[in-house]
């Protein structure tokens, strides 16, 4: 019986899933679509040239072994790469088949250069204060938001690595545009500034400009009012590296989108670098024209996740070191455990703690930190994190944090793990699957069993019930 390409790829994914972490699997294998299977050659469709290059560099050995296992010694893998890289909206995307054993550059379709109607005439700089005669374009970058001050972790490694690659070769990588997205307060603006600063350091002669989408829109409105639209467009067309922050604010603004579309086209076809940030990925953006969304997807879309505990501690320690102050480690860890989903709030909590200490002439200790946190999150329904629950449970039973997430079946460790699952289910909004993932990579059935076990013991064992009550008080402290 001849194998079906979809079934073959599904079998491959089962093996790949067991050999990669969940985040990498979602990022690099979920988007792949099996296309055909002919003569032991499986063709898979990938979204971009960069996607193909990343798979070849990081997962080629795993892919080869998987294909050989499914299709035998003669099994081969080919990529079908979609290149949506033409400015003619009526033309379909181009698909290029590339065998795994034959890497090659894929040329972009030919495009028509826009006519510079202002050639030889001075172009109005929208960033120059009226009345001042300046020729140099100010980058609008903030020196403090550099790569040196950007803490790397599992939550942001892909985006940071791509940003650093862009900074070393602007316009010369497959990451053009580089589209960075995340929830509020996770560092996408910092990373955008860091890219611009690094490019300025590496290539002093390049014109780098950071601008928010709102600022871009207001400048365009002013240009229309003053009949300077051509100057506005050509000013942006001469930028070497354009960084637009929060492009979701273009939503619903058709004229602004239209002018940015033409600016984007010119910059991209002349190998200028474009960096965009947003609070959501392109696929979830509403009110943005399809032709513009398709361009957002040309390069790489990289997300920033909420930082893990170690990364949060590192962020605080970096800030403390930069400010030249000393804070007890237990206070740093308490702040990191208490505020989990927003780096901006985490740094704000540290500043508030320093202010409380200075104004009230109190030493910085754990008690003051707890008082400050209560005030800092006053009237907000602060949800404790699974990490924090695990820390409290481990401290209570004097168990190392890494032990509770290990595969050991020691009775005291299993019970501590079950208690952590119980409180995570009752005190957070996390799904059973998420709780299981954080508690030793268990499945949802294990979490349900743990909750039932804890409830049964609470009803039959008075001393165990006292344990649970004490731990609950500590978590809510």
Contacts of 307 (CB under 8 A, 6+ apart): 151, 153, 155, 156, 186, 315, 343
What's the token pair of residue 404?
């509770």
* Integer Cα distance of 176 and 275 in angstroms: 7
Q: What is the pLDDT along the chain (477 residues), one digit of tens a residue?
A: 456 888 889 998 988 988 888 777 877 888 888 888 888 888 888 876 667 777 877 788 888 888 888 888 888 888 887 654 433 444 444 444 444 443 333 333 222 233 333 344 455 666 654 443 444 577 888 888 888 888 888 888 888 888 988 998 898 888 888 999 988 778 889 999 999 999 999 998 888 999 998 889 888 988 888 888 888 888 888 889 999 999 988 888 888 998 999 899 888 888 899 999 998 888 888 888 888 888 888 888 888 888 878 888 888 888 777 777 778 888 888 887 777 777 877 777 888 777 777 777 777 777 777 777 766 654 344 557 888 888 888 888 888 888 888 888 888 889 999 999 999 888 887 778 788 888 888 888 888 899 999 998 988 888 888 889 888 888 876
Q: Which helix (H) or strand (E) holds 459?
A: helix 444-460
Nearest to 186 by CA among 382, 345, 2: 345
Q: For residue 241, what are the β-bridge partners? A: 208, 273
Gap between the Cα atoms of 257 and 252, Å rounded: 8
Cα distances (angstroms) measured from residue 47 to each of 55, 88, 93, 290? 12, 19, 11, 16
Among 81, 10, 83, 9, CA closest to 42: 9
Query: What domains can you pick out in the chain, each with its CATH number?
Result: 5-99 (3.30.300.180), 147-303 (3.40.50.300), 309-376 (1.10.8.60), 386-476 (1.10.1750.10)
The tokens 């070769």 sit on which residue?
169
Instruction: Report the chain's C-alpha Rg in angstroms.
Output: 27
pTM of the model: 0.52
Measured distance CA(158)–CA(191) in Å, rounded: 12
């Amino acid at each position: 019986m001849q194998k079906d390409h979809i079934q073959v790829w599904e079998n491959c994914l089962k093996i790949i899933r067991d050999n990669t972490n969940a985040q990498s699997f979602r990022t690099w294998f979920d988007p792949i679509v099996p296309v055909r299977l002919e003569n032991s050659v499986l063709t898979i469709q990938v979204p971009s040239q960069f996607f193909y290059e990343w798979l070849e560099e990081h997962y080629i050995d795993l892919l080869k072994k998987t294909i050989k296992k499914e299709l035998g010694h003669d099994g081969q893998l080919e990529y079908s790469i979609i290149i949506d890289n033409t400015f003619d909206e009526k033309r379909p995307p181009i698909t290029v088949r590339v065998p795994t054993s034959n890497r090659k550059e894929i040329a972009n379709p030919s495009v028509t250069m826009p006519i510079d109607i202002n050639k030889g005439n001075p172009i109005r700089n929208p960033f120059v204060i009226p009345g001042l005669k300046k020729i140099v374009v100010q980058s609008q970058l903030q020196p403090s938001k550099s790569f040196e001050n950007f803490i790397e972790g599992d939550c942001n490694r892909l985006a940071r690595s791509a940003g650093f690659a862009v900074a070393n070769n602007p316009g010369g990588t497959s990451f053009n545009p580089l589209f960075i997205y995340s929830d509020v307060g996770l560092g996408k603006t910092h990373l955008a500034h860091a890219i611009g600063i690094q490019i300025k350091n590496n290539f002093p002669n390049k014109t780098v400009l950071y601008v928010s989408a709102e600022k871009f829109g207001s400048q365009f409105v002013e240009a229309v009012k003053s009949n300077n639209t051509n100057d506005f467009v050509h000013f942006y067309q001469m930028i070497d590296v354009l960084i637009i922050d929060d492009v979701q604010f273009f939503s619903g603004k058709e004229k602004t989108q239209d002018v940015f579309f033409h600016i984007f086209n010119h910059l991209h076809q002349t190998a200028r670098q474009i960096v965009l940030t947003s609070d959501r990925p392109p696929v979830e953006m509403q009110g943005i024209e399809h032709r513009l969304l398709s361009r957002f997807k040309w390069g790489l879309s990289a997300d920033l996740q909420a930082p893990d505990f170690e990364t949060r501690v590192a962020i605080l320690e970096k800030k403390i070191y930069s400010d030249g102050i000393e804070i007890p480690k237990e206070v740093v860890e308490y702040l990191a455990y208490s505020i989990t989903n927003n780096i901006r709030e985490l740094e704000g909590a540290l500043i508030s703690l320093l202010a409380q200490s200075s104004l009230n002439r109190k030493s910085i200790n754990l008690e003051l930190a707890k008082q400050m946190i209560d005030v800092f999150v006053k009237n907000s329904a602060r949800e404790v994190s699974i990490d924090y629950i695990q820390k409290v449970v481990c401290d209570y039973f004097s168990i190392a944090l890494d032990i509770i997430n290990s595969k050991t079946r020691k009775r005291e460790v299993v019970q501590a793990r079950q208690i952590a699952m119980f409180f995570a289910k009752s005190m957070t909004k996390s799904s059973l699957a998420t709780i299981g993932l954080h508690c030793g990579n268990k499945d949802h059935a294990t979490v349900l069993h743990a909750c039932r076990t804890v409830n049964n013991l609470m009803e039959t064992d008075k001393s165990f019930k006292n344990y649970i009550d004490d731990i609950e008080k500590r978590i809510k402290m």
